[in-house]
Chains A and B, each alone.
Chain A
Amino acid sequence: MRKKSFKLVLFALLAISMLLAGCTGKTRETSGGKESGNGGGPKKDTLVYGRGGDSTSLDPITTTEGEAYKVTENIFETLVSYGEKDVTINPGLAEKWDVSDDGLTYTFHLRQGVKFHDGTDFNAEAVVFNFNRWMNGDEDKFPYYTMFGGYKNDEGHVIKEVKAVDEKTVQFVLKRPQAPFLKNLAMSPFGIGSPAAIEKYGDDFRSHPVGTGPFKFVEWKQNDTITLERNPDYWQEGLPKLNKVIFRVIPENTARLNALVNGEIDIMDGLNNSDEATVKANDKLQIIERPSMNVGYIGMTTTRKPFDNKLVRQAMNYAIDKKALINAFYGGKAEPAINPMPPSIKGYNESIKDYPFDLEKAKALLKEAGYEKGLEIDLWAMPVARPYMPEAQKVAEVIQENLNKIGVKANIKSVEWATYLDKASKGEFDMFMMGWTGDNGDADNFLYTLLDKDSIGSNNYSYYSNDELHDILIQAQTETEEAKRNELYKKAQEIIKDDAPWVPLVHSIPLLAASKDVVNYVPHPTGSEAVTNVEFK
């Protein structure tokens, strides 16, 4: 009896291991078959995109998160669109548009024959429906709609009315001119959704997105994959080239690179700068650089001692060695920041010279400010990696060392990210690391959003307030003539440079890595792009 049961166990084990072996063999074959598809067999047409986090919503207006737009850019389209590599304005769902001389009326002529994925027609009524939905919401529901100055009954709201002139013509009437109006319209959150689907799904539209874009939504396995498939009725002939796109979450950067090397994904973002050499050494992989539209900076809370003193803030600017930081932590893939916005943005002031790295000058300024005996401050380092700040803790240590040389003792501190932002917006930090990636490629989205006194309590973490600057920035918001507007922003940057509420550190170049057979992947400076033209060699 005992022997029998022992034999039975042995036999069961044997059977299980044979079953496993059999299965493993089979999968080898299938995956092998797929790999041969790269070469002689049928062309590869599924792109697997590896990224660090999941989307929180696929209704782009309901979120401010970049991970959402990476997906929705493929499902939804906007009235006007950005250039392939820049933030120039190009036709989108609107073929052309007219602007009245007073800058108050925009008339859009819509593309003919465009259909939503559910088969309903895209027309002027659909545009009106979407804008009415958004302007009747609030900041909790549709956060990015604040780009238009608020919601329907708010005083600052710039859109007076959106009306359908006829089936293919839609008109926006503004209360006052808004210079970046078209650039705002091109932002991912303002993708036009199918009114029928929005009515059908209600709040659930966020997990059942229906747009006009090159790809249709198929499935969302949360924290795992989002699958899109080709829209066969897409209005651009012969596009998209891929049959399927799968966005896959692999949180850890190194593990994601391992998955790429192993062929489980075809492209990934968030490559560590330190892994660039590994990718370059692998002849099956390529590096893709995203054009920079960000800034990483050290903020100083101008309402707190000792940073209420301009001389102290300037001294900090002299004391930090940006070049050394870039070489050490960005693998050279960043340029030193001089102004709060990157040079690619219109209105950038090229004549401003940076404070040079000069410890003696820094010491002299501290002495002038009455801190010749040195001082002690808290330096807050962000707890997360961002494209503009991949290794905040280590950067903080180098800055600590820099400051030590001018007699400033910096205590490095950190706290979990949500609390970090909360404390920063309340002005509770002395000196802190922070950064920003542009939303719409407009100077207003950097200078006003980050440094105007109106933005104190939200994104103006340094509590910097200058009335002269405020007047200039408000004037620039309504100035529609580009040359004049650029002059205003140049002047604004001079004021900021002198007041020195920040030490601007870097404009970094985010890195992607892809399998070598992926072609036509053109990353956009805003951080998200459709993969309409992407294909495999």
Chain B
Amino acid sequence: MAAAEFTTPELKEFPAIPALRPDAMAESKPYVASDKINAAIGFPGELVPDWEAKAIGRLGELLKKYRSLKVYLDSCVHCGACTDKCHYFLGTSDPKNMPVARQDLLRGVYRRHFTLAGKLFPKLVGATELTREVLDDWYKYYNQCSECRRCSVFCPYGIDTAEITMAGREILDSIGYGQKYSNEIIGKVHKIGNNLGLPGPALEDTLQGLEEDVKEDTGVDVKFPMDVQGAEVLLVTPSADFFAEPHIDSLIGYAKVFHAAGVSWTLSSKASEAGNFGMFIGNYDQLRRIALRIREAALELGVKRIVVGECGHAWRVAYSFWNTLTGVGAGATDPFAIELQKQLDHRYKQPAHICEVTWDLIQQGALKFDKEANDHRIVTFHDSCNVARASRMGDAPGGQFEIPRSIIKAVANKYVEMAPGTTHEATFCCGGGGGLLTDELLELRVKGALPRMEALKQVVDRDGVNFMATICAICKAQFTKVLPYYKFNRGMVGGVHQLVSTAIKLGSND
């Protein structure tokens, strides 16, 4: 489409640190949000005239609000451990995509205005003024970080680089210089209820079609209920699950699990989106407002459990932030949160990941599978960054790694791991996370996928892998798009619950 021509990197047999190519990605940036898009979510419409003072002021506010940000900006010693850990650096060779260099775009300005040494001797301590050039670099390079936090795993100080990217984007939004993709989506989630902009009647029509399809395929009346008062489970899932392929096959999988286990469940037309792009842009107010829709829906429907579908960052928000944001999980103290606490059934995890639900049911013997139904697939698992490094599942450390794998092994006979150092907590981002899954960033997305594609190629060549399972809507959409650039079939990516859907035996409850 509009994207410029570029060359897909070659897949090497062994990963190598690329030779630097300064400014290789200096032209890569997302479209700037229009005044209309910004106004709809309460941001300044366009770059404000006094942007320099406003940006520094906002940085000061963030430093006061988030002690973590100050610690991260202060404590880097430039040891270089992070430099070769970022998929965007490995794929693009642009030195500003070394995590330390990307952070230093903000750190330099921080030093100039918020540290004594930087105020007195800026040149000695790498302090920089916020010039228009620096501001544009923020816009370009904070939109070349997917907030995946792989570099943080290798940082001896534990600097959470995603926090710095989020702060950078929040400052940009506060002066009217935010990106279109995320801000347009946030507007839609408030106005229509989901990131896609799928109105209730379309959702209903789609779900009805799915009931017909599953009936045709299996002969069983599997329901896809919406807005059912008094259902036990409220399932909140990314709206891509209603719309895109292969996402929709996992939605069918969730429905079959609930059906086979005899659990009453419902979707909500109000909270028809698990995703929360408020986190991507580092805006607490948006993060909270988007999360509150789910509480409202849960209170209205009177559900006992809240379950989150296959969406990586939604699970981070749910697992790590919903407690204080909404009262799903203990922590929030406002009356509605307390009411929700009373309503939910605390014999179950609140919230629960769909993989936790399915795995619990498998262990109880409540689900039966025909594993041979997946015999045409040789499966590997791509850990999604926000699940791997920002959340957990189950009761044991590492549950977020083991539970999805255990499900796969329970429903399929052939499973292969990708190389150590590319999975689990060291997993490589798909290349499209963190609010970068937009067409104008295609070059960045293709190049950022390089490390994952290299690891995938190894198991394709060695073991004949033909299916890469994942539990994130962004990963699914990103791989569907970029796999063909590396000569893989786009159909080889799919959801864990797509595998469940293929193998699950229905009918025992009919």
A and B co-occur in one complex: no
